[in-house]
Amino acid sequence: MKALEGVRILDMTHVQSGPTCTQLLAWFGADVIKVERPDIGDATRGQLRDIPDVDSLYFTMLNHNKRSVTLNTKDDKGKEIFTRLLECCDVIAENFAPGALDRMGFSWERIQEINPRIIYASVKGFGPGPYEDCKVYENVAQCTGGEASTTGFDDGPPMVTGAQIGDSGTGLNMALGIVTALFQREKTGRGQRVVCAMQDGVLNLCRVKLRDQQRLARGPLTEYPQYPNGKFGATVPRAGNASGGGQPGWIVKCKGWEDDPNAYAYVITQAAAFSALAKVIGREDWLEDPEWSTPDARLPKLDAVFHEIEKWTMTKTKFEVMEILNPLNVPCGPILSMQDLVEEPSLRKTGAIVEVDHPTRGKYLTVGNPIKLSDSPAEVRRSPLLGEHTDEVLRDVLGYGDEEIQQARELGAV
Ligand SMILES: CC(C)(COP(=O)(O)OP(=O)(O)OC[C@H]1O[C@@H](n2cnc3c(N)ncnc32)[C@H](O)[C@@H]1OP(=O)(O)O)[C@@H](O)C(=O)NCCC(=O)NCCS
């Protein structure tokens, strides 16, 4: 048995943020019925296609374990079918532009009238405020949530990150919101509204920068590369690759860096392991020298510390650095490229990366469920073709007969 077996989700999500949420719930065993516009479907089916006329990797990697139904929710017959689905589902999830579901005639009040037990979950770009009506994509959320202003080097422009913290991060928040609302419903019998704003989600992940904004009012941020020689302004500056916590860290070059853009490693000069680190890089002299022997003495000259470390790491591959420093309790990590990750056997073993077969695409790789439940192992099943389960859902979930399904088809509702 899967953890969410018996939970049925009416999935109106599209693009990335919403689909990551419902994909997680599907991995936990929920029956996720993805509703898509007839003939068009989720726009990502056709985006960044690598094989003509085949669902893109963007779509397939976000919609595993779901069923697909095509339904025109702006058509009368379509609205009737949609109402029946709302009656039969525990959750409706969506991430349309603000107000889209209301414009279809399905406000929260109306949805509650149809099914008072239903949980109505939405991702929006912004919460109530000046930008609440705006459409938002990943990088807009990163820029407006504090990520971009705090990422990059001090002498460069703001930077977005390659991790989809706005989309997939907010999808995670919504999944937790839905499961929590289902838990509360067990006691109250009532559904509720769950709303997750992408700006809030990004800001939530940037909490240490909000911490630093307040520390800044009391003096310079001593672990930032700007200390002690650079200038601090009114807001948290970009800190390059400095460690987010109180432990000084930096990315240093490793053997082969001249040709390989990822021949680098992250090394943290934690006080507890500093003497082992100094010895291994051949700077045992630092340990007796008051100019270098204490964290406070090193703090104003971290660039020189990392320069010395780098002289040593440049003689080793990033994997050798890891192998040598780890037993010494020096926290470090090689910069693993996507290719390194794809080739790493342990990630296949744990299911962090899985191979899936698809009827029109063939075999491809995707990420598996990063959350492991001992009693509810996740099995990754391929994404559905557009409308693959329309008849099945109308028949088995809604109890429609063949004639009624045919009629809905002729009306263009499905
Ligand atoms: C992502 C986003 C920018 C995409 O915008 P978009 O491509 O213009 O798509 P919209 O959400 O506006 O929806 C398109 C229209 O299709 C309609 N539609 C969707 N599914 C439908 C269906 N099954 N039947 C009929 N109409 C449907 C919607 O009702 C909407 O119509 P409207 O403009 O008349 O209200 C926008 O949805 C958004 O801001 N979402 C919230 C934030 C978010 O999740 N962003 C991250 C995306 S990864």
**Which 3-state string (H, E, C) describes 259-299?**
CCCCCEEEEECCHHHHHHHHHHCCCHHHHHCCCCCCHHHHH
Q: Does 370 map to a domain?
A: yes
Same domain? For 144 and 195 the reply is yes
What length does the chain have?
414
332 forms beta bridges with 267
CATH number for the domain that contains residue 270: 3.30.1540.10
What's the pTM value of the predicted model, to 2 decimals? 0.96
For 210-221, how does the pLDDT look when each residue is reduced to its tens digit (9 = 90+)? 999 999 999 999
Q: Tell me, yes or no, whether 110 and 135 share the same domain.
A: yes
- Residue 309 — φ and ψ, nearest 5°? -60, -40
What pLDDT was estimated at residue 9?
98
List pLDDT tens digits, range 176-210: 999 999 999 999 999 999 999 999 999 999 999 99
Residue 73 lies in a domain: yes
Q: Is residue 216 part of a domain?
A: no
CA of 71 to the centre of ligand 1 (A): 14
Boundary (domain end) residue, out of 285, 302, 330:
330
Q: Is 167 a catalytic residue?
A: yes
Q: How many whole angstroms separate alpha carbon 8 and alpha carbon 1? A: 15
3-state secondary structure of 50: coil
Instruction: Kindly report which listed range (124-128, 239-243, 313-317) carries the lowest average pLDDT score.
Output: 239-243
At residue 203, the pLDDT reads: 98
How many angstroms is it from 253 CA to the middle of ligand 1?
45
Question: Would 220 be classed as within a structural domain?
Answer: no
Nearest alpha carbon to residue 367 among 381, 379, 353, 356: 353
Q: In what order do the strands lie in the sheet with 193-197?
A: 66-70, 31-36, 8-12, 91-94, 119-124, 193-197
Residues 324 and 349 in one domain: no
SS3 159: coil
Note whether residue 218 is domain-resident. no
Statement to judge: residues 23 and 156 lie in one domain:
yes
Residue 242 belongs to a domain: no
**Confidence at residue 228, expressed as pLDDT on a 0 to 100 scale:** 87
| Domain-embedded: residue 267 | yes
- 362 alpha carbon to ligand 1 midpoint, in Å? 30
Together in a domain, 326 and 351:
no
Shared domain for 147 and 46, answered yes or no, is yes
Q: Which residues contact 301 (CB under 8 A, 6 or more apart)?
A: none
Catalytic residue selected from 167, 285, 303, 402: 167
Domain that holds residue 265: 248-330
Do 326 and 349 sit in the same domain of this protein? Answer: no
Ligand 1, CB within 6 Å, residue ranges = 15-18, 35-37, 43, 71-74, 95-97, 100, 103-104, 123-125, 135-137, 167
The answer to whether residues 130 and 267 belong to one domain is no
Verify that 160 and 26 share a domain, yes or no.
Answer: yes
Tokens of 103: 């414009």
* 310-328 mean pLDDT: 98
In which band, very low, low, confident or very high, does the pLDDT at 403 lie, cut at 50, 70 and 90? very high
Domain containing residue 63: CATH number? 3.40.50.10540
Q: Between helices 167-188 and 17-27, what is the axis angle to 10°?
A: 50
Give yes or no for a contact between 61 and 381, defined as CB atoms under 8 angstroms apart.
Answer: no
**Three-state DSSP class for 120?**
strand
- pLDDT tens readout for residues 122-132: 999 999 999 99
Residue ranges of E strands in 45-140: 66-70, 91-94, 119-124
Q: Is 117 helix (H, G, I), strand (E, B) or coil?
A: coil
13 C-alpha to center of ligand 1: Å? Answer: 9
Q: Are the C-beta atoms of residues 221 and 238 closer than 8 Å to each other?
A: no
Answer with the one of 268, 296, 330 that is the final residue of a domain: 330
Residue 246 has pLDDT above 80, yes or no: no
Are 156 and 297 members of one domain?
A: no
Atom of ligand 1 nearest to the CA of 43: 7
pLDDT of residue 339: 97
Query: Can you tell me the distance from the alpha carbon of 191 to that of 234, in angstroms, rounded to the nearest whole number?
Result: 44
In a domain, 234, yes or no: no
Which residue's alpha carbon is nearest to atom 34 within ligand 1? 100
Q: Given 330, 363, 390, which residue is the final one in a domain?
A: 330
- What is the rounded CA–CA span in Å between residue 205 and residue 224? 19
Predicted confidence at residue 243, as pLDDT, reads 86
Task: Looking at the structure, tell me whether residues 322 and 404 fall in a common domain.
Answer: no
Total number of domains constituting the chain? 2
d(CA 215, CA 237): 12
Same domain assignment for residues 323 and 355: no
Question: Residue 194: enclosing H or E segment and its boundaries?
Answer: strand 193-197
